[in-house]
Structure formats: C-alpha cells, structure tokens
C-alpha cells in the first residue's frame, strides 16, 4: 500500500520512531490541529531507565514498556507498524521496509541508537548487544534457563563505562537471585573505569565489584569472537593484531557505548561520523528545513551531548515548538542543552550517584535512582497508557 500525498489543505507530519522524544509529542497532538499526524515504528517503547533492573530481574518486562499503537490511537495519531529504510528528501517521501511509501510535509526522526558488536563466530560464545533493550530481556531469559540446568556460565562484559558496570553488577544480582554461580569478567580497553568520574567514586566502585566477585581487567581491546571465547589485543602492546590473545567466555555482552542506529546513511541526510544525523540548533537537518531529528540518533553540530533521557525530554519540548512553528510559519526556537544535575548507576543492590566532583554510593543512592526513574516514567509516559 502506498499512501497518497497529503491533501493540499492538510499537511502531514510524519513521526518516525516511537522513542522517548516522540512519545512526548503524542501528548501534544493538539498543537498540530491543522495536520494529519502519523507515527511509524516497528515495535514497542522501552523506558531505558529500567533496562538495567530488568536484566537483573528486579523489574518485570511490562514495567518499562508501552504500546505505541495504543497510545497513538488514543491521541488521534495514526499508528503505522513499519521500519523506515530510506528517504527521498527532495520528493518528501519515506520508504518502509515492507515496500510502502509515505509522503510527508514535515518529517521528524527519533530512531534511537545501537550498541556496536563484532559479528559472532560459529562455533563461539553467545553474543549480546545492550540495544535494542529487549536484547537484555532475552539475555536474562537465556541465563535463567542455564541457571535452572545447574550451569555456571562464564560471562565477559565489554565496556568500562556506566552501561558495562551496570550490566556486570546486574548479572551478578541475577545469578544470586536464582541461587546460581557465574564467572563475571568486566573488561575495558582503558586504564580505569568510568572515565571522568571522581577518583574516590572509582575506588568505591572497584571495592564494590570485588565484593561481588566481579573481576576487572584493564587495557583489553576486544576485537572479535572465537570458539569458546573472545579475542583481544592488549591496549598497550605495540604489535597490534600480531599480539592477538584469547579469553574464555560462554556469553559476551558488548556494552562499550552507544553508536548511531544502523542504516542512517541510506536516508540521504547529512551525518556526523560516529555521532548520527547532523542537526542544527533548531533540530533541523541542514539543507532540509522540513526534516527534524531528536534523541540519540541526532547529533548537534555545535555541541556533543551524552545520550541521556533527560536531554531527550528537553529536546521534545523544543521539537514540538519548532514543528508547530514550521506548520504555521512562526519563528523557530534554538535547543539549548541543560545541565544534567546528577547521574546514578543502578548496581543492583546499591547505587552510585555522581554530580561533578561529588559522589555518593550505597542503598540510598539506589532508592533515589529508582524513585527518579519511576517519577519520570509516570510523569511523562505511563499516564498516557490510560484510556
Ligand atoms: C542498558 C542501558 C541503560 C540505560 N540507562 C539509562 C538511564 O538510566 N538514564 C538515561 O538517561 N539513559 C539511559 N540509557 C540511555 C538511553 O537508552 C537513551 O538515551 C534513550 O533510550 C534514547 O531515547 P531515544 O528517544 O533517542 O530512542 P529510543 O527510546 O531508543 O527509541 C528509538 C525508537 O526508534 C525506533 N526505530 C529505530 N529504527 C527505526 C526505523 N528505521 N524505523 C522506524 N522506527 C525505528 C525503535 O523501534 C525505537 O522505538 C541507557 C541505555 C542502555 C542501553
């Protein structure tokens, strides 16, 4: 089915991706009374704030998940199950994976991010990416089955940033909750964990990991998979690939940062390598004033931002203003990133809160994170589920 061009008297606003930004926009449907609004997404919405807890078994799958089709319908937006594969920005047409073509007057892209992962080898360990978030649920179910059979899997977690640390701790929590054993090794190519965090917080974290029997290895640059494990080069070794080494693993979880989603280059829009779709401060794609992008897939041309939900929420407000301005001919507003007050890691049974040079680790930090995440979800997304 090809969708005809929007009727001349009724512009069409096409939202692609049911991410944290676009679900905010659904509530603001009334700000685009003159437009037909469509939301294209292949699956469901997962609130990233509960992703780590879902892996560790503290949150059920339903706790951070919403149905975009139901939400869109409730707000008078037409839902379309589908995946965008390419664009014709000149003709203002979006092509979906199943062959459908959608014409648009205004387009907004909220396509999220991916977690890069070298291809698996066969035979070889099971390989897991941390995005899309349902992969974490699949990992949990797979490990639970192994634990139930009495196995003690060897798990290598790649990445010494917030995600790698959270994933390693959650896996330990999952094993303990199921009364099982697992060998957990956290590896990073750097010489320390949590680049940029205060030294005291990192020392606290190292003690926390040691108490949970999580081994940490530094200077390990994982390059690929091999039968029974992963291959790596030592980061300080001058021989490059000639110094290939091997680590035993049954499962390898790649959590070494978030990258642009796959296939962005097919959209024919300007990109910033390794960061995503280039956007001006108005969130418009340079040279295509009717194409906007926000959230993890967007890369501000004048500033590098960490990929965080709070930035997404601020972008949603500016995006709504600017889409509305573009429809009515009003002036556009620049997006000015706000300071994120605090970041808190969910380590399963404890939290680690970091604010600039200050930090705080323990159960209260975790309770604080859970409360903030719950409030964020309830305030911005969950209530939309009500009929
Ligand atoms: C394990 C983990 C824990 C995290 N914890 C936190 C945290 O505690 N706090 C925090 O601030 N951030 C956290 N993050 C980061 C957070 O995930 C992202 O910043 C946030 O999810 C980005 O939201 P988004 O709106 O850009 O995209 P997403 O919410 O990822 O949504 C993207 C949407 O686009 C859709 N899509 C993708 N491609 C297409 C296509 N071609 N066509 C149509 N639809 C498409 C997808 O189906 C998805 O629905 C975490 C990330 C991970 C991996």
What gap in Å lies between CA 213 and CA 208, rounded to an integer? 9
Ligand 1 atom index nearest CA of 112: 27
The pLDDT tens digits for 167-207 are 999 999 999 999 999 999 999 999 999 999 999 999 999 99
Query: What local confidence, expressed as pLDDT, does residue 379 receive?
Result: 75
Write down the H helix ranges in 134-214: 134-148, 162-177, 199-211
Residue whose Cα lies nearest atom 49 of ligand 1: it is: 18
The answer to whether residue 241 scores a pLDDT higher than 70 is no
The pLDDT tens digits for 317-352 are 999 999 999 999 999 999 999 877 789 999 999 999
Ligand 1 atom index nearest CA of 373: 8
Ligand 1 atom index nearest CA of 346: 8
> Alpha carbon 305 to chain centroid distance?
14
Report CA(261)–ligand 1 centroid distance (Å): 10
The pLDDT tens digits for 45-65 are 888 888 888 999 988 878 778
pLDDT category at 35 given cuts 50, 70, 90 is: very high
What gap in Å lies between CA 248 and CA 266, rounded to an integer? 37
Least Cα distance to 147 among 180, 172, 173 occurs for 180
Report CA(207)–ligand 1 centroid distance (Å): 31
Which of these ranges, 66-80, 200-214, 233-247, has the smallest mean pLDDT? 233-247
Question: Could you give the count of Cα atoms lying within 13 Å of 179 in the half-sphere of its Cβ?
Answer: 3
Query: What local confidence, expressed as pLDDT, does residue 235 receive?
Result: 73
Question: Could you give the count of Cα atoms lying within 13 Å of 70 in the half-sphere of its Cβ?
Answer: 12
Report CA(233)–ligand 1 centroid distance (Å): 31
pLDDT category at 383 given cuts 50, 70, 90 is: low
The answer to whether residue 117 scores a pLDDT higher than 70 is yes
Query: What local confidence, expressed as pLDDT, does residue 377 receive?
Result: 80
Report CA(295)–ligand 1 centroid distance (Å): 8
pLDDT category at 237 given cuts 50, 70, 90 is: low
Predicted TM-score (pTM) of the model is 0.92
Report CA(202)–ligand 1 centroid distance (Å): 27
- Averaged pLDDT, 365-381: 85
Instruction: Find the angle CA(97)-CA(28)-CA(337) to the nearest 5 degrees.
Output: 85
The answer to whether residue 155 scores a pLDDT higher than 50 is yes
Average pLDDT, the chain: 92
* Ligand 1 site residues, Cβ closer than 6 angstroms: 16-21, 40-43, 45, 48-49, 51-52, 83-84, 110-112, 130-131, 163, 261, 295-296, 307-310, 312
Ligand 1 atom index nearest CA of 309: 11
The CATH 3.50.50.60 portion of the chain extends over: 12-113+259-339, 126-254
Residue whose Cα lies nearest atom 37 of ligand 1: it is: 111
Ligand 1 atom index nearest CA of 130: 53
Report CA(22)–ligand 1 centroid distance (Å): 11
Contact, 104 vs 94, CB < 8 A?
yes
Residue whose Cα lies nearest atom 7 of ligand 1: it is: 49
Residue whose Cα lies nearest atom 20 of ligand 1: it is: 309
Report CA(180)–ligand 1 centroid distance (Å): 31
Residues 6+ apart with CB under 8 A from 180: 146, 147, 151, 152
pLDDT category at 240 given cuts 50, 70, 90 is: low
Query: What local confidence, expressed as pLDDT, does residue 234 receive?
Result: 85
The pLDDT tens digits for 68-99 are 999 999 999 999 999 999 999 999 999 999 99
CATH for the stretch 126-254? 3.50.50.60
Query: What local confidence, expressed as pLDDT, does residue 386 receive?
Result: 52
pLDDT category at 387 given cuts 50, 70, 90 is: very low
- Token look-up 């094993």 returns 175
pLDDT category at 219 given cuts 50, 70, 90 is: very high
Residue whose Cα lies nearest atom 52 of ligand 1: it is: 48
Pick the CATH number of 12-113+259-339 from 3.40.640.10, 1.10.286.10, 1.20.1530.20, 3.50.50.60: 3.50.50.60
What gap in Å lies between CA 280 and CA 335, rounded to an integer? 9
Ligand 1 atom index nearest CA of 167: 1
Report CA(65)–ligand 1 centroid distance (Å): 12
Residue whose Cα lies nearest atom 4 of ligand 1: it is: 48
Contact, 362 vs 48, CB < 8 A?
no
The answer to whether residue 305 scores a pLDDT higher than 70 is yes
Which of these ranges, 212-226, 249-263, 307-321, has the smallest mean pLDDT? 307-321
| Mutation choice for ligand 1 from 26, 111, 130, CB with most ligand atoms inside 8 A | 111
Query: What local confidence, expressed as pLDDT, does residue 221 receive?
Result: 93
Contact, 261 vs 113, CB < 8 A?
yes
């Amino acid at each position: 089915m090809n969708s005809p061009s929007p009727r001349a008297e009724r512009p069409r606003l096409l939202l692609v991706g049911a991410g944290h930004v676009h679900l905010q926009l659904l509530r603001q449907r009334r700000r685009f009374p003159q437009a037909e609004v469509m939301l294209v997404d292949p699956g469901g919405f997962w609130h990233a704030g509960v992703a780590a807890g879902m892996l560790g078994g503290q949150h059920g799958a339903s706790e951070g998940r919403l149905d975009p089709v139901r939400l869109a319908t409730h707000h008078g937006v037409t839902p379309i199950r589908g995946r965008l594969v390419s664009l014709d920005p000149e003709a203002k047409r979006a092509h979906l994976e199943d062959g459908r073509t959608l014409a648009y007057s205004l387009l907004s892209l909220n396509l999220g991010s991916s977690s890069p992962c070298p291809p698996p080898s066969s035979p070889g360990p099971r390989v897991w990416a941390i995005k899309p978030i349902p992969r974490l649920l699949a990992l949990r179910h797979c490990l639970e089955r192994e634990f139930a059979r009495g196995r003690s899997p060897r798990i290598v977690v790649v990445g010494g940033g917030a995600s790698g640390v959270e994933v390693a701790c959650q896996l330990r929590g999952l094993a303990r909750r199921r009364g099982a054993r697992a060998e957990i090794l956290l590896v990073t190519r750097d010489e320390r964990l949590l680049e940029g965090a205060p030294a005291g917080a990192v020392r606290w974290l190292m003690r926390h990991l040691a108490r949970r029997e999580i081994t940490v290895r530094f200077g390990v640059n994982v390059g690929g998979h091999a039968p029974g494990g992963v291959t790596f080069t030592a980061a300080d070794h001058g021989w490059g690939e000639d110094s290939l080494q091997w680590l035993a693993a049954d499962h390898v979880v790649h959590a070494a940062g978030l990258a642009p989603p796959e296939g962005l280059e097919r959209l024919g829009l300007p990109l910033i390598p390794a960061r995503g779709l280039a956007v001006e401060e108005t969130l418009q794609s340079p040279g295509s004033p009717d194409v906007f992008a926000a959230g993890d897939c967007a890369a501000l041309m004048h500033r590098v931002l960490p990929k965080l939900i709070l930035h997404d929420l601020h972008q949603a407000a500016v995006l709504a203003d600017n889409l509305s301005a573009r429809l009515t001919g009003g002036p556009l507003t620049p997006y000015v990133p706000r300071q994120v007050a605090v970041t808190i890691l969910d380590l399963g049974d404890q939290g680690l809160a970091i604010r600039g040079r200050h930090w705080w680790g323990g159960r209260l930090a975790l309770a604080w994170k859970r409360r903030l995440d719950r409030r964020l979800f309830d305030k911005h997304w969950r209530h939309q589920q009500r009929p």
